[in-house]
Chains A and B, each alone.
Chain A
Amino acid sequence: MKLLVAIVVALTCVASHGAAQEPESRRVPWSDGIVELAESLPVQDGGRVKPLHTFASFTLLRLNGKRSLTTPSGERLGPTEWLLDILVFPQTAIGYRQFLVQNDEVIAAIGLSVDERKKRDRYTFEELRPGVGRLFELARQYTLIEEADRSSVQQQVVHLANNVDEFMRLAGHLDFARMRLRVGAEPEVAELFDASVVPFHAVVRAAPGLHELADGVAGRGEALAILRAAADVGGASGSLALLPPVAPVDDEPSWLTPDDVFYRSYDEGRLADEHAEALRSFVALVDARLDPGAFERELAGLHARLTGLAEARGEYASVGLEVAYYKAKLLSWSLYLFVFAFLGLAFLWLRPRAKVLYAGISGVAGIATLLLIAAIVVRCVIRGRPPVSTLYETVLFVTCVGAIVGLAVEAVNRRRLALSAAAIFGMIGLFIANGYELLDKQDTMPSLVAVLDTNFWLATHVTSITIGYSAGMFAALLGSLYLLAKLARFKRDDRAFYKGLARMVYGVLCFGLLFSLIGTILGGIWANDSWGRFWGWDPKENGALLICIVQIAILHARMGGFLRDHGVCAAAAFGGTVVAFSWWGVNLLGVGLHSYGFTSGIHDALWTYYLVQWAIVGLGGVAWLLERRNAAADRLRAVPGRPPEEIAESKAA
């Protein structure tokens, strides 16, 4: 219902503007100064205060599938520039191809033509507009179906409807600042204003007086009409809470939209001067839209006003840092460097004695790891939380710990193996992190539900469990390398190479068991403190237990001589799928207290990993059988009296 109301309002706004005047457009690109001011404006969204840049990035990602957009004139827009266009020049923005549709059946379903379009293509709001009514009607029907039961097209219809709705809300957001009302037909109304054509903020100021008139007789009609008009444009502004309250955070946690300010004045006769001035600044900003210099000056004024209010509440401290975090692209650079190190390692394995190359690649992998550490630390500072509180952050942290472990082992044994594994691990981990972000399309620093609001347990239980995941995955990678090397008969006579590799797998397993076991028990202690039971056989708990059991079983089987090097490596490789099951798989089951996080679409990636990993374990078994057969053949050939050189030759052949 709420959705439908918003549509009607936003639709009329966009439509009426298009019809009433020549479509005006921006003539020059947004200047760097304007973009810098706009992106660091604070906004309250998703339960927290964040920079407008973050809001714009994830919104654009949801609509367009990526964080940039190319206009019909070929200009490439970043998220903030794109959002500025929607807010200030909605008539231009409706012509941007910004709605990514994965399957043109969606377009056909809402009654539009898909001729000459690719199956997966981007559409403009203008193109979709004739089908918007049908789109929302379908979406309303499909949301009644459980998400798990929706077909792919149905899901995409819902997704597109949400995106179109979000776009229309943003396009209508500054309608309040574009509005001018002619007032004063009735003398009682004229008394409340000092001009005959007035903007929104003047109506907000006069709202208590208008309220009184509307309850009385004289001037009632005009007062009601003005209030209705203000409520209409105000209602369109409901999506961006840009106005911090004047009161301290504890008294008034929620930020305000222009609509809220209007209703507060109307209902309670409460209007802070700061808010009235802020609304006036928005009006001046929109008025200056065609003059870049004046626009920047007005934006600077508004920026100072809003950040001043946020700072007084202590809510602006990390906004600048967050803008810098996203602009520095630490994670992208880290990923590039890991890839670079990985490529370099291919050469290093061909030229084992190249000291400079070795030092260089170690350095690159080291810097990549440092960048990753820096990214995690900055995220901790921004949110004031320990490193892991969401599924996305587990990926970053697992990757980081794996890379650190690899580099540390390399520093001890200098066999190039741990270095290679660290680079591969870093590369794959950051690739997954990136993929997850693109798939999820939600802020990666969200608000947390009540039970997670505890830095102590996040720092202890979650961190140790995640280190356990990391070690388990890293051991699986090393074990897989062992099996693949055996299969490819790489360095087949270098027993020290395989011995060293197997010893690393063992070491990483021990390291992993320590953290998995402690983390799992700490989880129980946390559960005992917050739910009253230490252990409840919840799927996530069981997953953690499975990791511990597998690792303990491997160590005891090794102790008892049931598994030798080859077996330990194969078991560790298999253990990777147990970790993956615990880390991702149980979330897909959709039961239990821990089934948090967006996970549809992860299913395929997870099964790919299972199958690849099991295939490697299977091939490892084949390699073991082949090796045994060859060894038996060698023993047969090694008849007494035959010189050993000959045997070596026959092996080489």
Chain B
Amino acid sequence: MRVLLDGFLRVFSSLALSVALLLMLGLLTWLGTLEQVDHGLFEVQKRYFESFFLVHHAGSIPIPLPGANLVLCLLFVNLAVGGMARMRRDRRTAGILIAHAGILILLLSGFVKMYFSDDGHVTLFEDQRANHFESYYRWEIAIAEDLGDGRLREHVVPQEDFADAQGDRTARLGSPELPFEVEVSHYMPNSRPTPKGPMFEVAVPVVDGVFLQGRELAAEAETNIAGAYVSVVERDGTRTDGILWGMDAHPLTVTAGGKDWAIDLRHERYAMPFTIELEKFTKVDHPRINMPKEFSSDVAVIEGEASRPVKISMNEPLREAGLVLYQASWGPGGARPGDRLFSTLSVVRNPADKLPLYACIVIAAGLVIHFTRKLAGYVRREAGA
């Protein structure tokens, strides 16, 4: 046991492992950069950087590689054991230890961001308001129950529960509160509803003359539109078939158990603890050329009865109740002067928001201490020589 632990510590604290991990991380970073040309950032990020293992295709040769996530986890251990716990501690290594501590904070903030943060956007025309933001990439199925007095009660199913129901595989979504189950099949991350013509056959069901056509994943992942086939199966076995598509203007409606229900596939929504209203969006170009100089959104942050004005502009986000709102973009793309514009604010909930800044300060301090020591030594030696 003792031997095993010692061996483990020796391997994990070795400089050889550090160098090997760094080189592997460098290789992954390089490959992941080049792959973006063909596959877009989002896909590459999932495959190369957020994964534990991957298979890289160099031409037609498959090469199995560890993912950057695994490499960074190992690096974290290597650094904590070899670069902190088991390292000599004296005046000569003080700077190094501090810098290593900073890197650990940085890696930690990365893990926190990856596993505990939400991000999305809220897009508003002037005078519109919202109290939630929605994901760019993730989908959910919302089952809304008409309570009869003008109110709706929503049952929300996250993407994990139906994303595997691809092809003929099915996922059954249900809850004791619902008088039916929703059977999902043929989930497609990117799809378009297409009319079925008489001249061709399709391998998927056709509902009311329309079928879902699957598409390649787009390089710009936020342009993917998910779709799926659903069957609403009531307790007595009655089935109602339908198609859900992410950009449908109207949800699928069914009547069951004496009530009306609306089923909708939409981008995942996250509630905000306040409401935001876009009062004015401003876009200023440089004089006489078509290049934006600045854009900003004047918004009202409304909490209960209280409302206060805030200006959100490039490089100046709003930080409020654990959320950060950024001026991300605007549209529509081909707008002419005088057209009604919308403003897109990116919204991020990241518990580690400020950690990189602290890490940066710690690392800078450590490196400055260490290298100043080295430099002073060098100058002394050269002057003595």
Contacts and interface: CB of A to CB of B under 8 A. Distances in A.
Interface centre among B14, B316, B364 (most CB of A within 10 A): B364
A413 interface: yes
B36 A539 contact: yes
Contact of B288 (A241, A511, A538): A241
Contacts of A517: 363, 367
A530 B291 contact: no
A513 B316 CA distance: 29
B294 interface: yes
B111 to A, nearest CB: 12
B288 A532 contact: no
A208 interface: no
Interface centre among B15, B19, B375, B383 (most CB of A within 10 A): B19
A241 B36 CA distance: 42
Interface residues of B, number: 63
B371 A510 contact: yes
B287 interface: yes
Interface residues of A, number: 61
B23 interface: yes
Contacts of B328: 531-532
A550 interface: yes
B356 A525 contact: yes
A362 B353 CA distance: 49
Contact of B294 (A45, A413, A453, A537): A453
B295 A507 contact: no
Contacts of B206: none
Given A513-B367, A517-B367, A447 B286 contact: yes
B356 A592 contact: no
B314 interface: yes
B63 interface: no
B19 A553 contact: yes
Interface stretch (B24-32, B150-158, B189-197): B24-32
Given A47-B289, A518-B364, A521-B106, A557 B19 contact: yes
A162 B286 CA distance: 22
A450 B15 contact: no
B347 interface: yes
B357 interface: yes
Contacts of B23: 549, 553
A273 to B, nearest CB: 23
A556 B314 contact: no
Interface string A512-553: 011001100110111011111111111100110110011011
B261 interface: no
A514 B36 contact: no
Contacts of A537: 32, 36, 41, 44-45, 48-49
A457 B314 CA distance: 12
Contacts of A525: 356-357, 360
A591 B36 contact: yes
A288 B108 CA distance: 74
Given A507-B374, A525-B356, A531-B328, A449 B33 contact: no
Contact of A412 (B287, B363, B378): B378
Contact of B32 (A45, A510, A542): A542
A539 B109 contact: no
B380 to A, nearest CB: 10
A504 to B, nearest CB: 9
A7 interface: no
B224 interface: no
A586 interface: yes
Given A449-B291, A510-B374, A529-B317, A536 B368 contact: no
Given A255-B288, A453-B314, A589-B34, A521 B22 contact: no
Interface in B273-328: 285-289, 291-295, 314-317, 324, 326, 328
Interface in A493-513: 503, 507, 510-511, 513
Given A454-B315, A562-B16, A591 B356 contact: no
B138 interface: no
Interface in B340-367: 346-348, 353, 356-357, 359-360, 363-364, 367
Given A47-B286, A514-B367, A521-B106, A528 B356 contact: yes
A539 B36 CA distance: 8
Nearest to B34: A589
B360 A521 contact: yes
Contacts of A450: 292-295, 314
20 contacts: A45-B288, A47-B293, A447-B291, A450-B314, A453-B314, A457-B315, A503-B378, A507-B375, A510-B371, A521-B356, A521-B359, A529-B315, A532-B326, A532-B348, A533-B119, A534-B113, A542-B30, A543-B33, A546-B30, A549-B25
Given A454-B315, A537-B44, 11 more contacts: A44-B288, A45-B288, A255-B288, A453-B315, A507-B375, A533-B113, A536-B45, A537-B48, A546-B30, A549-B23, A549-B29
Interface of B: 14-16, 18-19, 22-23, 25-26, 29-30, 32-34, 36-37, 40-41, 44-45, 48-49, 106, 109-110, 113, 119, 285-289, 291-295, 314-317, 324, 326, 328, 346-348, 353, 356-357, 359-360, 363-364, 367-368, 371, 374-375, 378-379, 382-383
Interface of A: 44-48, 241, 253-255, 412-413, 447, 449-451, 453-454, 457, 503, 507, 510-511, 513-514, 517-518, 521-522, 524-526, 528-539, 542-543, 545-546, 549-550, 552-553, 556-557, 559-560, 562, 586, 589-592
